[in-house]
Amino acid sequence: MTSPPLRTSVVVIGAGQAGLSVSFYLKRLGLEPGREFVVLDRGPITGGAWQNRWEALRIGSAHRINDLPGMDALGLSFETADRTAPAKDVVAEYYRQYEEFYDFQVQRPADVKSVFDRGTDLVVEWNNLKTTGMEITTDLLVNATGTWGSPFIPWYPGMNEFEGRHVHTTDYGSAAEFAGQSVVVVGGGTSAIGFLLELEDIASDLAWVSRRPIEFLDAGELGMEAGITAVAMQDAAARAGQALPSIVSGTGVPKTRRIQAGIERGVLVARPMFSSIEPNGVRWADGTFQKADAIVWSTGFRPELRHLAPLKLREKEGGISVGAGSSWKDPRIFFAGYGPQASTIGANRAGRQIARQVVATLSNL
C-alpha cells in the first residue's frame, strides 16, 4: 500500500458500506483513488463494522446486507453468499475483493483523531500503528464513520454498584461466555432478539426487557412502507439537527419463522424496563426482582462524530443539521450513512448522490 498524498481533493473517512459506495461513484465520475480522493479506515481489515460482529451472526439471520454498487462485476452477491458462514467473515472477504478490484487504495488502520480548518482548507489528522499526528489537507470531506465506535448505554440508578458484567453489543463475543449465568438482555431490536435466541439453551436464566413495546410485523421481511417511514423519521431529525431516532422505532421487527418460534416458546416475551440496578440483579418499580450475572445492553449506538468537534457543527438539539447528504453549516462536509442513510435502506443510493454533489462542488472551487 502506498502512502497517501499530503494534499488531496476529497477525504473519505470510513470504508464500510457507505464509504465504499461513495468511493465507487467518485471513481466512476473521474476521480483517481489514492491521489484525488483518499479513503481512511480505522479497521485492521476490510468489512467495516461487520468485522466486529459476534461469531454466531450469520448472513441468513442478519439484517439484509445489500450488495455494493458494481459488485456484480466481480460475480459476487450477498443474495447467493454462504448463509451458514459467520456474517463478519463473508462481508470482510467480499469487501476485500471489492476494494482490490476497484483499486481504492484504502489506508488502514487509519484512526482519524480530528478534522479542523486551516485557512480555507480542511485538515484531517490521523494515526496509524507506527506514526501519530499525520495530516492530509483536503478541499472536501465525506464522513462515513457510521455508529459502531459510539455505543450507547442508558443510565439507570445503581449501574455502578452492579457486581456482574455490563456487556454492550460491541463487546458480545459468543453465547458460550454466559454459560450457566443469569442474563438480562436489554433492547427492542433484532440484535437483542438474536442474543436471546443464542442464549436460550446456554444461560441458566434469561430475561428480556425493553424500553418500548415490541412491534412484531407479520411479514417476514421489512416492508416498503415501514422502510419509508423509518427513512422519513431519520431525515426529519437530521434536517432539524436533532438526535437521531433508532431505526427499529420506525420499522418494527419482521416476524420470521425463527422469531415466531421463539415467541411461541416464551423466549421472546419482553418485560417493561426495570427501574433500578442492584449489585446482584435488576428491580422493577413494583418491587419485582430479577437476579443477573450479566446485563447485555443491546441499546444501539450514536453517530461517531467526535473527530468533527473542532468544526463546531453540532446543534443545541443534539445532532448535526444535514440535508441531502451535506452539512448546512459547512458545505465542505458531506455525510454518508447518517440520518436517512444510516442503514442498508438508503446507503447505496446516497453514495451516488453524495459523489455527484462532491464532484459538482469541486468544479466550482
Task: List, in order, residues 6 or more apart from 131 with CB less than 8 Å away.
Answer: none
pLDDT of residue 339: 57
Output the domain CATH number for residue 117.
3.50.50.60
CB 164 within 8 A of CB 291: no
- Least confident range from 55-69, 163-177, 185-199, 253-267: namely 55-69
Cell numbers at residue 273, please? 424496563
pLDDT at position 325: 83
Do the domain assignments include residue 235?
no
The band of 189, judged by pLDDT with boundaries at 50, 70 and 90, is confident
Cell, residue 329: 453549516
Domain endpoint, select from 281, 297, 313: 297
What backbone torsions phi and psi does residue 242 show, to the nearest 5 degrees?
-95, 160
At 272 the three-state DSSP class reads: strand
* Coil, strand or helix at 363: helix
Contact 90, 82 (CB under 8 A): yes
Residue whose entry in the numeric block shows the C-alpha cell 448472513: 59
Residue found under cell 471513481: 27
C-alpha cell at 255: 416476524
| HSE-up of residue 14 (Cα within 13 Å, Cβ side) | 28
Taking residues 310-315, report their average pLDDT.
91
Q: Are residues 64 and 79 both part of a single domain?
A: yes
Residue that terminates a domain, selected from 297, 325, 355: 297
pLDDT per position as a tens digit, 40-78: 999 999 999 889 888 888 886 656 788 999 999 999 999
Alpha-carbon dihedral sign for residues 92, 93, 98, 99: positive
Average pLDDT, the chain: 87
**Is residue 289 located within the same domain as residue 318?**
no
Q: Which domain holds residue 140?
A: 7-149+301-364
Residue 302 confidence (pLDDT): 86
DSSP string spanning 158-192?
TGGG--SEEEEGGG---GGGGTT-EEEEE-SSHHH
At residue 62, the pLDDT reads 58
Whether 175 and 136 map to the same domain: the answer is no
Pairing assessment for the beta strands 7-13 and 121-127 based on DSSP bridges? unpaired
Number of independent structural domains in the chain: 2
- Write down the pLDDT at residue 223: 44
pLDDT at 226: 44
286 and 341 fall within a common domain: no
**Grid cell of 298 as nine digits:** 443491546
Are 172 and 288 found together in one domain? yes
Instruction: Kindly report the pTM of this predicted structure.
Output: 0.84
Burial status of residue 115 (CB atoms within 10 A of its CB: 0-12, 13-18, 19 or more)? buried
Q: Lowest-pLDDT range, 92-101, 259-268, 332-341?
A: 332-341
CA distance readout (Å), 109 to 15, 158, 234: 11, 38, 30
The larger pLDDT score, comparing residue 166 to residue 246, is at 166
Residues 292 and 331 reside in one and the same domain:
no
| pLDDT surpassing 80 at residue 231 | no
129 within a domain of the structure (yes/no): yes
3-state SS assignment for residue 214: coil
| Residue 364 to residues 99, 357, 359, 360, Cα–Cα distance (Å) | 29, 11, 9, 7
**157: nearest Cα among 290, 278, 10, 36:** 278
